[in-house]
Structure 1
Amino acid sequence: MIYQKSSQEITALLYEACLTSLEEAIENINSKDYVLANHKLQKANDILQRLGAGLNYEAGIIADQLDMIYNYMADKLIEANLKKDPIIIKEVIRILEDISQAWNESLKKPAKQITQNRKRAMAYEKNVLIDQ
């Protein structure tokens, strides 16, 4: 079934899997099962690394910004894992939920509208690069 998904749909699935792992890690920390919490946090961190590796840097500045956000969240998860701190995990969940929601909304837009928006953004970026 996964082979029939587009790369955009797979990205949405990765967001969901990451969120699930983070929520389970919080439950594990609260129940003092630190070994399982460690496993779930490592899994979430692996997903973030894969999301970062899959970025298309030709898409513009948004790819660079997503890379920075993914790296920030990965660093926070390492900190949360060391401290076994659910508050830090909740911060990452909030950020990831916002990104996931925006991603899912973009999947609902027709491809023609996305292409037009991308052309406008690229024209803006070209003008910004020329003016500097």
Structure 2
Amino acid sequence: MAVNNPYQTYQNNAVTTASPGELTLMLYNGCLKFIQLAKKGIQDKNVELKNTNIQKAQNIVSEMMVTLNMDVEMSKNIMSLYDFINRRLIDANVKNDVQALEEAEGLIVEFRDTWKQVIQVNRQKQHAGQGGQV
């Protein structure tokens, strides 16, 4: 009989019960975590740690790009920023460039923080009875 890992169970429940907006926030936070680990890999000259985590961050950015609603005008600007982030991640991986990682990280932090505000405003509207959902 397998013993369940309570932390893994909690993580699974958090993902399966999260709203789409909360899932997006989780993706941004995951991307930031992977960028931090990649920076550590560069600093420690651990190529595998750097490469694995940059690829994970790139996968998240790619997912964000694929799920953008291109019918919305602002999405074109967001797509350009995601493309820039992705190129900086590639540069960081190829050149062991911490500054490139930090540029990507800064933009992801801005996206994450903005998304947090969107979720908070949406919750306030829901509690005020105005509806709407992120």
> What is the count of residue pairs matched by the alignment?
114
User: Of 22, 32, 42, which aligns to 2:55?
Assistant: 42
What is the CA distance between 1:78 and its match in structure 2?
0.5
Partner deviation per Cα, 1:12-40 (whole Å, 9 max, x = no partner): 00000000000110011101101110010
Equivalents in 1 of 2:96, 2:68: separation in Å? Answer: 29
Uncovered stretches (5+) of structure 1, i.e. residues with no partner:
116-132
Partner deviation per Cα, 1:64-105 (whole Å, 9 max, x = no partner): 111111111001110110001111100111111011100101
Q: Which has the higher helix share?
A: 1
Tell which deviates more after alignment, 60-69 or 16-25: 60-69
Equivalents in 2 of 1:62, 1:12: separation in Å? Answer: 19
Q: Which residue of 1 aligns with 2:114?
A: 102
Q: Which residue of 2 aligns with 1:9?
A: 22
Equivalents in 1 of 2:102, 2:47: separation in Å? Answer: 17
Cα-Cα RMSD: 1.6
What is the CA distance between 1:114 and its match in structure 2?
6.7
Q: Which residue of 2 aligns with 1:52?
A: 65
Equivalents in 2 of 1:81, 1:57: separation in Å? Answer: 29
Q: TM-score, normalised by structure 1?
A: 0.81
Equivalents in 2 of 1:97, 1:36: separation in Å? Answer: 22
What is the CA distance between 1:52 and its match in structure 2?
0.9
Uncovered stretches (5+) of structure 2, i.e. residues with no partner:
1-12
What is the CA distance between 1:57 and its match in structure 2?
2.3
